[in-house]
Chains A and B, each alone.
Chain A
Amino acid sequence: MRAISPITPPAGKRPLRCRIFDPFRETPLLAWLFGAGLAVLLEHLLGESFAALVGLAKVPVLFGLMIILSKPLLFPGALLYVAVIYLLPLVTVALLLARPANTAAAALLRLGPAVSVLFHLALFYAVLHFWAEISGYREMTVKFTLIAVLLTLSLNLINGYMGEFSCSHPGFMALGAYGASIFSLSLFVNDPLFGKALLPAFLGPWLFPLGLVGGGLLAALGALLIAIPSFKTRGDYLAIISLAFLFIVKSLLENLPFVGGPRGMGSQPDYASLPVVFAWTAMGVWIMNNYVRSTLGRSLNAIRDDEAAAEAMSVNTRHTKMTAFMFAAFWAGVAGGLFAHMMRFINPATFGVQRLAEMLAMVYFGGLNSVYGSIVGAVSLNLLGEVLRPLELFKWIFIPLLLILVMIFRPTGLLAFRDFDAVRLVQPRSRDRQGGAP
């Protein structure tokens, strides 16, 4: 167990950042979640009337930023709303409930780390769910963001952990999207492309995971096809081969009439609800996080740093690379399946070079070789894309500019080289840890 320095020097001489964050050093995640829960509850109860009071027409959808950018005069109202509805309860609970929350967190941890982590996850989902429930637009943004997290993390496995530059990810996503769509359109829906439904519609949501996994496996198969010829090459050559794969998938889909050709496929059943997307994303992040912390993941890093040395240290490089590639493609396929059932329309043009650029931006913005970074990159670029809508054309100047700045000042991304230790995240933070973590 690591000791946390017990003495804090007198306030006043220390930088502002420390003075702001010091009081929260003993606040465990549990208390933050309770605070967020209270904030969301408050928004449900008082949000609308308080928004009217401070002169806003509606509850600010994404922390008031959109309002500030479109109508700068309303900024005091939006700021006040965020301060009173979000910040105030969050800070109050984080300070007041720190002690009891620490005791609770310790008790939870004694029941077993898995129980504690699942409890935190459930609490987090509850907060997210009630936050998203306020507006359909919020819910849609959350769903797109969660899917982007899955995609970014899976691409980070190859581009970050393995250190190769792969361009075929939209192709994998397309395979997953088409695979899952064919599954649900042919089985549960009367569709002009596939004829009458083969199974009763009520089974659909229950068998949907099978479709997703099927789509993921299809993508993994695609990854195997490209891995066999291309892993004799490295660097630029792999990038070019994987780019070629992306084009092959795209023009294949364009020329196959039974999946709609260039017109694409539409009216997939609406299976990708928020709980479904969240469950898959949480599972994907958990599994991929475990993967990179396992021996396989560590050997992936060894290969990235020096392939010959890794080989000499008994790493089976070919096997490791192949597994990682297929594993990443699987999750990209799952994300594609979720995407297809959320959009309820896919066409080959969706999975082109532009999508690749978006995915790469999220990976490199958030941070290479990093689970945290992938989450941060996907969330921040997705939210920025929505929040900056009022800037119209300047949005496409601002976001790339931000990327350039990140590349200059943090060449590996915002939060590079960080994995996730779920148990450390949920453990109590008190100095006098009577309960104590294991």
Chain B
Amino acid sequence: MRKIPYLLLAALVAGMICSPLAWSKGKSIKIGINAPITGDNPKVGEGTKFAAEMWLADVTAAGGIEVGGSRYPVQLVIEDNEYKPESAVKATTKMIIEDEILVMVGPQASSQAVPAGGVADSYATPMISPWSTNPNTTKDRPYVFRGCFLDPFQGPVVANFIKGEFGAVKAAVLYDVAADYSKGLAEEFKKAWEGINGPGSVAAFESFTTKDTDFSSQLTKIKNSGAEVIFTPQYYSEVALIVPQARELGWDKPIVGSDSWGSADLIKLCGPACFGLYFSTHYAAAGAAGPTREFIDRYQAKYGYVPDDVAALTWDSLRIVQAAIEQTGKLSGKIENDRAAVRDAMAKIREFEGITGKMTFTEEGDPSKCAVIVRITDQGEFAFHKSVCP
């Protein structure tokens, strides 16, 4: 029994001698990924993680990121934000201070990206949120960027598309009042539509709350209002209820949606009722060509399903980060200076060729990029119809 302490001591000394083996040798670039791996929306976290791992495999195969002639290996630090604002703040602080990441990609949803952006900006660490559409994420935060277009852009895009495609004068809007995304976009659309067609041209502005399943009263009102088209910025599960109910009530005019429609499950749930409809989104999977096609095929081969827009936007964000790091020209090794350099390089990016379109960052750190209008074909595929640029 008395030998146990000595044995422990010996083990400790042996461990001490071995532990330098575990040191991470050489300088590597650390990229933080802030994703909802657990929580309410694990599918979003999964898409983020898969896209990031695919990107890492590419970079590792190339021997790392090349900066100023030398190649730096890349390490991903993936932290779970549990789809909660406070966990996103904790994960962000941990990655910035403890892991000393150079850049952070994520969080995806605005409710986490807004507080995490505040933290990243206060620690002067560049952050890019691939998916957050809330203007507050990047507002007055020089270090925060995003990879997607905003609601104030998407609203007018849809309004202009409807005007040009159908020549309608009166439109109706049906939206969820309790979801921040739907409400914001509905209001942006209304503003844009009234700007084109004059006040009163939104014939019906009807709302419901999350988890409602019967829309007949709102749809009847819309039908009687004389509207020529419905715009409904809802998630695919609700769209699959709204569209068939509208058809049953005898609505045979067009229904148009937004990027939240873009899920393969839409066709599974909605069926033929949704064929021939249009919505605006970040990229079109069917009929894609070039690098976009390549990304979709690789992702599908590796993980077994067509990537949704979160994965595609994360992929683009990571490639923007890579381009920005490469353009700094030199890494000093002092993390504060390097972060500032990456931030400046990121703000200078012009005409970046992403799989979700060309991007150029504005002063606020928001990309001005084209939106894609997708038509649902009679086979239930999302086919490219046209792209609308700012």
Contacts and interface: CB of A to CB of B under 8 A. Distances in A.
B180 interface: yes
From A71, A263, A264, name the one whose CB has the most chain B CB atoms within 10 angstroms. A263
A266 B119 CA distance: 12
Nearest to B79: A389
A393 interface: yes
B57 interface: no
A347 B90 contact: no
A354 B84 contact: yes
A140 B180 contact: no
From A75, A137, A392, name the one whose CB has the most chain B CB atoms within 10 angstroms. A137
A255 B178 contact: yes
Contacts of B180: 261-264, 347
A262 B177 CA distance: 8
A77 B16 contact: yes
Interface string A298-310: 0000000000000
B37 A392 contact: yes
B154 interface: no
A144 interface: yes
Interface string A37-73: 0000000000000000011011001000010000101
A73 B18 contact: yes
B361 to A, nearest CB: 21
B363 interface: no
Given A76-B16, A263-B110, A343-B115, A255 B177 contact: yes
A173 to B, nearest CB: 12
B301 interface: no
B20 A140 contact: no
A177 B135 CA distance: 22
A221 interface: no
A141 B86 CA distance: 11
A75 to B, nearest CB: 7
A345 interface: yes
A190 to B, nearest CB: 11
A238 B90 CA distance: 34
A55 to B, nearest CB: 4
B183 A261 contact: yes
B22 A55 contact: yes
A282 B98 CA distance: 28
A344 B12 CA distance: 45
A350 interface: yes
B38 A77 contact: no
A346 B114 CA distance: 10
A322 interface: no
In which size bucket is the chain A interface? Answer: 35 or more
Interface in A193-241: none
A264 B118 contact: no
6 contacts: A55-B16, A77-B15, A136-B97, A137-B94, A255-B178, A345-B114
A225 B237 CA distance: 37
Interface string A117-140: 000000000000000000111001
A396 B38 contact: yes
Given A263-B180, A386-B90, A80 B16 contact: yes
A296 B20 CA distance: 60
Interface residues of B, number: 41
Contacts of B259: none
Contacts of A339: 86
A356 interface: no
Contacts of B97: 135-137
A136 B123 contact: yes
Contacts of A389: 79-80, 91, 94
B323 to A, nearest CB: 28
B178 A61 contact: no
From B90, B98, B178, name the one whose CB has the most chain A CB atoms within 10 angstroms. B98
A136 B93 contact: yes
A55 B183 contact: no
Q: Is the interface of B mostly helix, strand, loop or mixed?
A: helix
A295 interface: no
Interface of B: 12, 15-16, 18-24, 37-38, 79-80, 84-86, 89-91, 93-94, 96-98, 100, 110-111, 114-115, 118, 123, 134, 136, 177-180, 183-184, 209
Contacts of B24: 57
Nearest to A346: B85
From B80, B89, B134, B180, name the one whose CB has the most chain A CB atoms within 10 angstroms. B180
A273 interface: no
Interface in A236-261: 251, 254-255, 261
A76 B10 CA distance: 11
Nearest to A343: B115
A406 interface: no
A76 B115 contact: no
Nearest to A60: B98
B37 A137 contact: no
Contacts of B93: 136-137, 140
Contacts of B94: 137, 386, 389
A263 B134 contact: yes
Contacts of A95: none
B98 A137 contact: yes
B178 A266 contact: no
Interface in A351-409: 354, 386, 389, 392-393, 396
Contact of B16 (A54, A261, A393): A54
Given A350-B84, A389-B79, A141 B90 contact: yes
Contact of A266 (B20, B38, B98, B114): B114
Given A79-B12, A254-B178, A392 B86 contact: no
A262 B90 contact: no
A267 interface: yes
Contacts of B23: 55, 57
From A135, A264, A345, name the one whose CB has the most chain B CB atoms within 10 angstroms. A345
Interface in A73-128: 73-77, 79-80
A255 B209 CA distance: 10
Given A76-B15, A80-B16, 10 more contacts: A54-B19, A71-B22, A77-B19, A254-B178, A263-B110, A267-B136, A339-B86, A350-B111, A392-B37, A393-B38
Nearest to B110: A263
